[in-house]
Structure 1
């Protein structure tokens, strides 16, 4: 097991690179892209907790990503529109009033509260219903992915209320700050990068706590944990809720950085891409999920723009190769290289087998 101070030092180095070095060496374009990767990395850190340590394959994190993203997008849309009805609503019905569920999102405080409370409540209710009934494995993965697909379809079909497939975009302000200002763009990036560091610290603390030990024990021997007097459902539920909260935070910061949110960012394909990043980096390690998500995000930005159709196949091939040859992700590669270089222990010399002539001489 990695010593705690080594992981903590790694978080410190990671924070220095993101917050102290990147803003000075990257162009505005790539800094904005790095902010987008940080949002995906926040989601991946939560997936690493619930999948890597808890053994629960969550393929529907797009649901909680959407809660944070659309909460933030609704507030920014209303902030841009001012006292008027948002432009996409006027386009379909100039006389239609603002939907009632939009009105509270005029408040910045309510928006921030919704980003935190909505995923916690939904994950709490969903997790309690599933874990208490001992739903796990493939059934749990399929169910969570089905929820992401259902939510994406619902948003696509409510074009007058949510913008449908076109989504919400054209944001001018971020809590009073002009988004086109380079200084404010830098501020938004620093917030996203800072939240990623905070999430890494939170998960690092959870890993080394008694809860982290119980989570691993629940993954490896659920019945033994139950016999020791702990309820595995409660342990899983806490991890699932924390993961959902991180996904919502990542979605909320994704909106001002990218400038748009559509159902394509929350459906099955998006959720699978989040899982692929975690698997690529190494789901059981602390930094693997974040680095893997950032690497996959970079691949999507670089290859997806030049070869959009082929990028999907590359992502699928990458996922298969990692599962077959590096089941623990790239984070396990240094340990495997070190093990390969290590000299094998000296093997005892096998005893000489007597020949037939020698056996005959012994008998005589």
Structure 2
């Protein structure tokens, strides 16, 4: 079986598992948790595109996640309040007139479009300002991290506009459905799963295109690409904006699934956790990034349920073990195992186990997508 057909078969199998098996065996509560994991997987997919394929270590993805989430939440709060009324938290905060910023979000079309366009536009502006100055590597990572911290500080300080520390919560009607009903939770799950599948296919196609090959070339040798006549700043800005748009979509879907968006979900720590998830899954593989987003958040829930006082240490241990034993992440380790099996079948001696981590990392860099 060729690699193309093998990839199609694997995608079909995963799609059946997510769309058929999971809804049949999981209760509404667990299905809702899985929907939340898939929201984070969408954000991780964007990081896989920006970091894995483009070499841009972004530690502020929570900003774009929050922009999308607040866009959706603002519409839901206005819809619950009804025409001419203020959202409940504004009444409690002493706000007497609806802020001008909120008025366009009375339209669901505008809110959905803003959840995608605003994060993408913010990332594009930031990218043009930063990448033209040839800021990259650790400097770009620190800058994006500082942006996340500043964004959270601003949200917390705007009690009457954003809900402050509490954020926006208590949504009673989500596009005509009661979010607490089991049927609504199943519907939200299918929407998130289908959006994730569509974005994965689009990202995979982008990576396999000429632009995707150019993006990898910028990652591996930005100065060389510049000498060839291309503008790396433009290439990186487009990829960064696409990554931000995915984070915005993830945030918009997260709001009806979980029922809240608050600054605690958007700061430095949540942004770093997304990067850790991609590293665990395998940053050089789009499928690995998605897997990491699900795996880390599943571990978060499982460890916190079983070991309430020590789950953070177990989560950290999982990250350390993956980085030590498989620098290419889970996807890199799986690829190494598959190549080793192929060599055994061909009668060629596979690399030693001690060199497996290095081999997985090296081979992971050659993968544009999986």
- What's the TM-score once normalised by structure 1's chain length? 0.89
Question: Contact 1:42–1:290 (CA<8 Å) still a contact in 2?
Answer: yes
Counterpart of 1:52 in structure 2 is 52
Distance 2:12 2:45 in 1: 16
Say if 2:22 is the partner of 1:17.
no
Note the C-alpha offset of 1:255.
Answer: 0.5
Deviations 1:81-125 (A, max 9, x none): 1132111111121x6212111111111111011112101111110
Note the C-alpha offset of 1:316.
Answer: 3.1
Counterpart of 1:289 in structure 2 is 289
After TM superposition, the structure 1 = structure 2 runs for residues 1-364 of structure 1, keeping only pairs within 5 Å, are 3-83=3-83, 84-93=85-94, 96-305=96-305, 307-308=307-308, 310-338=310-338, 342=344, 343-344=348-349
Distance 2:38 2:156 in 1: 26
Structure 1's unaligned 5+ residue stretches are 346-364
Distance 1:332 1:183 in 2: 38
Deviations 1:273-294 (A, max 9, x none): 1111100000111211111110
Question: Contact 1:11–1:200 (CA<8 Å) still a contact in 2?
Answer: no
Question: Contact 1:37–1:294 (CA<8 Å) still a contact in 2?
Answer: yes
Given the superposition, is the C-alpha separation of residues 117 and 337 from structure 1 closer, same or farther in structure 2, using an over 3 Å criterion? closer
Note the C-alpha offset of 1:302.
Answer: 2.1
Distance 1:15 1:294 in 2: 14
Question: Contact 1:282–1:332 (CA<8 Å) still a contact in 2?
Answer: yes
Question: Contact 2:31–2:185 (CA<8 Å) still a contact in 1?
Answer: no
Distance 1:203 1:213 in 2: 13
Question: Contact 1:300–1:311 (CA<8 Å) still a contact in 2?
Answer: yes
SS at match of 1:102: helix
Distance 2:249 2:272 in 1: 18
Distance 2:174 2:20 in 1: 23
Structure 2's unaligned 5+ residue stretches are 351-370
SS at match of 1:101: helix
Question: Contact 1:11–1:197 (CA<8 Å) still a contact in 2?
Answer: no
Question: Contact 1:70–1:252 (CA<8 Å) still a contact in 2?
Answer: yes
Question: Contact 1:58–1:141 (CA<8 Å) still a contact in 2?
Answer: yes
- Structure with the greater alpha carbon radius of gyration: 1
Question: Contact 2:278–2:289 (CA<8 Å) still a contact in 1?
Answer: yes
Moved over 4 A (4+): 305-309, 338-343
Note the C-alpha offset of 1:306.
Answer: 5.0
Aligned length: 343
SS at match of 2:55: coil
- What's the TM-score once normalised by structure 2's chain length? 0.88
Task: Report the RMSD for the aligned CA atoms in angstroms.
Answer: 1.8
Deviations 1:105-155 (A, max 9, x none): 111111011112101111110011111111100000010011111111111
Judge which range, 83-92 or 126-135, deviates more. Answer: 83-92
